[in-house]
Structures are given as structure tokens and as C-alpha cells.
Structure 1
């Protein structure tokens, strides 16, 4: 004779009162955990760190768009790299200008415009942000526009990415969960460390 396999006992569905009780119990448990998390020093330290990083990234973008700390330099040599764009009124399309200052430092300005070729010994101004002193933009004497420095591209990209992620996390209150808060803190730390090492 073959033995019958043990069948799982039939499950009785819960009543709506039992379901409501379970949901209320889970919500109460989540609130207790949230209160406990908000009282911890880790929560406060990580949130303060994330807010500070957020404002550092905002400051980088603000200094690129608006006012920043300026220093003037004299160029020893400039190398103009022309692009394939059309020339307008005898002005050639310039992709980049490499400027070497008197100390041998190279500043690569992204032009992407039709301009006259700059002088070899042009006076130029470099704009830096106030907190991290990262080179963001440059002006050349005789030109009205500010031009982005090539070295500022990764700084600005990382700043915009970190700002968007931080805004999403804080608006959706995802920082009230431990793993999300730690993940955001690690992301902000890596972005800040990368910007400082560029």
C-alpha cells in the first residue's frame, strides 16, 4: 500500500478585523523604530553630513552660474584648437583654448564658439568656488563671455547628480530608513571625495 503524502492543512482566510489589527500592529512597530532611529546619534550625524554635502554641491553650481572668487593671471602661451563649425565674419569656430600661465599651469577653456584667436600673452581670470577653491570658469581679456574650464566638467556633473539624488531622498522621506540614509551618506561621501581629488 502506498502512503499518502501529508497534505498541507487548509488555510482559513483572515477576517477584515484581523487584517486591520495586523496592519495597525505593523504601523505601530514602524513608528517605534522610526522614533528610536530619530533619537540616535547616527541618524543626526548622517543627516547633518548629507545636508552639508547638499549645500556644498549647491555652492559649486551657484559659483559656476553666478559670482565666485576670481584670480587674474598672465599667459605665457595660448594654443587654440579649432573645430569643424562654420566661420562667421572671419572668426573661426574654436573648440578649446589651452592657456599656460607664468607658473607653467595649464588652463583648458571650452569655447565652442566663433571667436578671434586670443593673443599669446593674454591676461585671463579664473573663477573658483568659495569653499573648495575648485577652478570652474575663466574669462579672457577682450572677450565678454565666461568659458567653462575642462577640469570643471566632472565637478559640475557630480554636483548635479548628487543634488538630484539628495533632493529625491529628502522629498520622499527615504532618509527615515537606515539603509537609505547610509546609502545616501556613502554616495555623498564618494562624490565629495572625488571632487576634492580632481
Structure 2
């Protein structure tokens, strides 16, 4: 498998000349169950027919494990070639293909989608390969973002309780002060009346 990859890269550099397949990104990072768009560009010639266009995009997982992601033979997409693991999860942009862009949206990502993706493009005017790496990480059981609101709710409930307690204590203090002042005033007035009678 490694020999095949090396052979493709060597052939690309020797044969292609002016025909080149490039990747828009060499490395992609995504999370499980999300979607991602892998993109390659290749040299087009407007005077040439798409009937000579052959594309094979594959995922190299390990030495003996290769999965076909996307296949075009003589300008026609061959969905039967696609590996079962990608079935129903790959959308290709047909308009972009006419412009020399291979845009493949891979949905419902899985961790086993991680690996090296090679896209071989073969036409009657050249052959080339572009490669990129995809790393799909697993979703955590309790994401940090899901934990934060819970913690902040507990903190805000604690603050509300503290504010209510302080407010209640201040109201009680005010009530006792008012009653004390009222009693003090009443006793002063009654003493003043007693003194007036003398």
C-alpha cells in the first residue's frame, strides 16, 4: 500500500508536467457526527470533453485498508464503486467539477473516517494526485460547553440566595431600628408630658 502511494506520487511528478491536482487544505480537523467538505482542484482544458475525465478518491486507513470515497469514469460518476461505509454520506458538486474542482461533502462523520485521502485525476492530457489528511475526533460524553451553564446556574442561584439573605437581614434591621426609634420617641414624649404636669 505504501509502495502504491509512493508510486503515484513519483508518477505524478514525472508525467504530469503542466497538469496538476492541488488540495485547498492539506489537513482537516472535524468532530464526530458533523460534516466536512474536502476539496481538490485540477487543471482543465475548455476544448476537451469530460468523457476523458477519470477521478478516483480513496481513503488510505492502513497498509491493507483502502476505501473508495468517490469515483468518476469517463466523465460519469460510478456510485457502485463507492465503499459501503461512505454510502449515502458523500455529496459531490457537479458544477464545481466542470470548473476543475472536486468538492466532496462528507456528512455524519465517524472516527474511522480519519486517515489519508488521495484523489487521482486522469485525463487524456495529464495525470496527477492530490492528498490531504482528515482527523475526526470523538464527541465527549459531557462536553465542557454543556457543563458550564450548569455550573453558572448553580453560581447564580447561590448569588441570588445571598442577595435575598442580605436584603432580608437589612429589612429586619430597619424594622427593629424603626420600632426602637418609635418606642424611644413615645417614651420621650410621655416623659415630657409628665414633666409638664409638674
TM range (shorter): under 0.3
The structure in which a higher percent of residues are strand is 2
TM-score normalized by the length of structure 1: 0.23
Q: Which structure ranks higher in relative contact order (CA pairs < 8 Å, sequence separation ≥ 6)?
A: 2
TM-score normalized by the length of structure 2: 0.23
